[in-house]
Structure 1
C-alpha cells in the first residue's frame, strides 16, 4: 500500500475519534437548552360566574296587573289587564259564563273586584345569576374584566276579590275578602366592562376589588293571576274592541349603570383561579313607568380557567 495513502487514512480515523465527543457534547447542550426553554402561557382567562341575584323591588310594580297601552303608558284601572280579564272576559262581562264566581265559590254576580283590590306588595324573589366572564391581566395584580351575566326573575304579589256572605243581612258584615296570588316573569342580561385589582403579597390568596360600567337589557316576560284553580294569563287578550291586536309589544329596555365588587381571590392550581364575590350594582331597569337607577345585589362564585 502506498505510504501516503496509509497516512491519510490514519489521519482521518484519528480525526473522527477526536471530534466525535465534541459533536455529542454539543448536541447534549442543545437538548438541554430546548428542555429549559420557557413556556409562555396565554394571559387570557375565561371564567364561569354562578350566584344569587337580589333585585330591587322598585320595578316590580310593572307586573301589578295594570299593563301598558300601545304607547307604553300605564293603563287606567278600567283599561287595566286585570279588569279586562276578571270583569269582562272571565266574569261574564260579555254575556258569557261567570268563571270567577265558580272559582271563588259563590253564585254568579255575588262577587266584586274594584281598584282597591288591585295587587299590592309586589316584589322580586331571589334568582340565580349565571354568566361567562373574561379576565385580561394588564399587570401582575391588575386586570381588565369583560363579563356577560343573565338571570330570569320571578315577581310575586297579592290581590283580593270580595264575595257576598249568604244569609247575612248586615251590609257591614256581608263581605268576605279573599286573597289571591299574582306572578310575573322578567329576563335580564348584564354587560359589564370593568377593572379588577388584587391586594396582598401572598402568591395564592388575596383580597380583591373591582368596578366599572354595566349595561342592563331587560325584557317583560309574563304576568299571570291565580284565583284558586283558575289560572289567567294577563298577556293575552280577546277584547278586540279595546285591543286591536292580541297585546301591545312586551316592554324591552336597555340602560347603562355601574357595578362594583369585593371578595377574595384564590389561585387553586396552575389551571384554576377561584373568586368569591359580593357585587352591588346601580342599574336602571328601563321598562315600566318612571324607571330609575336602583341598587341590586349579588353574591357569587367565579372560576377562571388559565389557558
Structure 2
C-alpha cells in the first residue's frame, strides 16, 4: 500500500479527481498552478486531474491530503462522491484518509483554499462541512452554476484556471478589505505554516509563536479550518511519517515515532492506523 501524501501527485498514484471522458489509450494526467491576485489571498492553488482506463471496472483513489477545503467542477462516466455528474462541489476537510471510488474515465478541475480561506471569504464557520462533499450551490448559491457550465465547456487548463480565479475574485471583491484585516484568518495561516515544519511536535510552541493561547487556537481552528489544531499538527507529522517510510527510513518505528512527537510507538501506531487505515509496519511492507 502506498498513498499520495505530499504536495504533488506522483505518477501512478490515484488522487481524487474529476474528468471528462477521453478517447484513446489509458490516460492519467494531473497538475497544479498558482492562482493570480486577489484570489490567492484565500486560494492556495488551482489543480486538475483527468484519467481514462480501458478496464470497465472502477478503481480507488486514496490520498492523505492537507487539511483544506476545495471547490471543484467534476465530470465522469458515473457518479462521484454520492453526486450525479457533472457537478460543482465543495469538499470539506477530510479527517482521515480520503478515499474515492473513481469511474473508468473522468476529469476534475478545482481550487484548494488556504487553511481558513473559505471561512474568511464567507465570514462563516466551516465546521459543518468537515468530512462532507456538498454541492457548491449550497455554499455559494445558485450563481455558482455559471462556473460549472463554463469550466465544462472549456478545453484549456489555463482558461479553466482563469475561470476559477475570476469566480473567487468576484466573490472576494466586496469583502477584500475585511478578509485582509481578518486577524483570526492571519493567525490560522501563520500557525499552519509553522505546523508544516517537522520540528513542531506540540501545540504549545505554535501558540506561543503566534502570540495566542492553545485555547484560542482551538477556537480559531474550529471555526476557520473545521478541525482542531492538534489534528492538523498530527496530520502533518503523519504525512512526514509516511514520507519517511516511503524513503526507506522506517526500519526503527519507535525512533520515528519519538522524532515526530508521539509519546511512544503504540500511540504512533494508533494514530497512523486511524488516519491511513493500516498500521505503519504493514504500510512499510507495501
Question: Highest Rg: 1 or 2?
Answer: 1
TM-score (norm 2): 0.22
TM-score (norm 1): 0.21
